[in-house]
Chain A
Amino acid sequence: MRKAWAVLRKDVRAEYRTRYAVNALFLFALVTLTALSFATGGAALTPLLAAVFYWVILFFSVFASLAQTFVKESETKTEILLKLNAPDDAVFFGKWTFNLLLVILLNIVLTPLFIVMLNIQLSEWGVWISTLLLGGIGLVSTTTLLGALIAAANVRGALFSVLAFPVLLPLLVTAIRVSELCLGGSAEISRVDAYLVLGSYAAVSTTAAWLLFPFVWRD
């Protein structure tokens, strides 16, 4: 854990000084949200449409930035320094935690802006927050592993989207359905079922990513 903490601290320190991932993450989210706000022109959105908007913004913001944690190591040639010195578990959990912090931070900023700019009525804050957290964990686990995978490839952006989309689709659909409930909708899904799906996805994707990471990282 101490070694993973060292990787996390290094990434936070470097990010604080360069804003490499944060700029990509927040600018994409804010520009997309602003564009949607202008496009809808203040019209009332259905709960389903609002939920779709939120998760699409979140997904594509994540696509634009989270893979960068590994791509940057590859592009700046610091990857070998990590491979020769840091244990695989420390690299994975350090990067995973860093990505999770970014997603949590994005949600903290995005939720109030979403409510204000799209004139949204949000109820059931507890469900909303737990959905974002469980969905965020699944999202982060998948993108952290795929980020390590595509860091060695030449066509990174396209490859990441192509690989990530089918893997994240069940998470996306479930998260949108639960979020719809929080926005006043009547999605045909019980909260218990939704939590089971999101929780299972988070647990399985995190375990699978952790177990597969050494093969992706070393080979």
Chain B
Amino acid sequence: MTLSSFSHGSNNINFRLEAREVSKAFGRRIICRDIRVTVSSGESLAVVGPNGSGKSTFVKMLAGLIRPDSGTIQYRAGDQTFKPEEWHQHLSMVSPELALYEELTGYENLEFAGEVLGLGRGRSDLDELLDEIGLHGRGADFVAAYSSGMKQRLKFALAFLKEPQVLLLDEPTVTLDDDGVARVWSALAKRRLALVIATNDSNEAARAQRRIVMGVSSNA
């Protein structure tokens, strides 16, 4: 069975993220040491810790954007195992370090992502996503004209576009207003995701089923 044989939105297969003995240091500064976590479909994990404790780095390692110095990060679908970079079709991320194309409109950003992913998403699908996240009627505006909160909403629309099995969130609601926060949590609740949330917000962290504290030796 190949990765592509797992269709988008497959809810009958258990998807699982596994980090084993993951360690990372930048020079002499240790970011994390021997972290072990697993998150399966329908589960959520909060990654908490003070500023500079390595939460964002850890999330980027889970996304396959940074390689750990030691340990492994794997994704499992049924009994098959994949590396993060082989898993991108099923993984989305919302992070301050992921930006949108400001010179394109909201629609164009979503259409571009859909095209490079090979998804057939029409305007009505995109409108549905934008409506869900509270950007009704703003899809034709340039992203450069969006407020920071609107950009964050569009990042969520982009993340949901591929119907991911794993969603990695880094400070997901920091620029959102109350309506935005409510819409995001409502959208997340509707989807059966393996969810990882890196946050400084204790209320946000409390929504997750488990937590891992960065900056101290901890496993979840």
Interface residues, chain A, with chain B CB atoms under 8 Å away: 2-3, 6-7, 10, 13-14, 17-18, 76-78, 80-87, 90, 218-219
CB-CB under 8 A from B118, the residues of chain A are 2-3
Closest beta carbon of chain A to B85's beta carbon, Å: 6
A80 B103 Cβ-Cβ under 8 A = no
20 other contacts beyond A80-B98, A82-B116, with CB at 8 A cut-off? A3-B115, A3-B116, A7-B116, A10-B101, A10-B108, A13-B104, A13-B108, A14-B101, A14-B103, A76-B99, A77-B98, A80-B95, A84-B93, A84-B98, A85-B88, A85-B116, A85-B162, A86-B116, A87-B116, A219-B67
Please state if B65 and A10 are interface contacts (CB–CB under 8 Å): no
User: What is the interface size of chain B, counting residues whose CB is below 8 A from a CB of the partner?
Assistant: 26
* Chain B residues whose C-beta falls within 8 Å of the C-beta of A13 in the assembled complex: 103-104, 108
Query: Which of B85, B88, B115 has the largest number of chain A CB atoms within 10 A?
Result: B115
| Interface residues of A, dominant DSSP | helix
B28-74: which have CB < 8 Å to A? Answer: 63, 65, 67
Q: Which residues of B contact A (CB under 8 A)?
A: 63, 65, 67, 85, 88, 91-93, 95, 97-104, 108, 112-113, 115-118, 158, 162
Most buried by A among B97, B102, B103: B103
Inter-subunit contact B116/A80 (CB<8 Å): no
> What separation, in Å, do the CA atoms of A13 and B108 have in the docked complex?
10
A2 to B98 CA separation, bound complex (whole angstroms): 24
Q: Which residue of B lies closest to A83 (CB)?
A: B65
**CB-defined contacts of A76 to chain B, threshold 8 Å:** 99, 101-102
Contact A10–B85 (Cβ < 8 Å): no
| Residue in A closest to B115 when the chains form the complex, CB atoms | A6
User: Can you list 17 A-B pairs with a CB-CB distance of less than 8 A?
Assistant: A3-B115, A10-B101, A13-B103, A13-B104, A18-B103, A76-B102, A77-B97, A77-B98, A78-B99, A78-B100, A80-B97, A80-B98, A81-B113, A81-B158, A84-B91, A84-B98, A85-B88
Given the interface pairs A80-B93, A84-B88, the reply to whether A2 lies near B99 with Cβ below 8 Å is no
A-chain residues with CB within 8 Å of residue B116 when the two chains form the complex: 3, 6-7, 82, 85-87, 90
Nearest CB of B to A201, in Å? 30
Cα–Cα, bound, A83→B88 (Å): 8
Q: Which residues of B are found within 8 Å of A7, using beta-carbon distances? A: 116
Using CB atoms, name the residue of chain B closest to A218.
Answer: B85
A80 touches B65 (CB 8 A): yes
| In contact, B104 and A10 (Cβ under 8 angstroms) | yes
Q: How far is the CB of A33 from chain B (nearest CB, A)?
A: 29
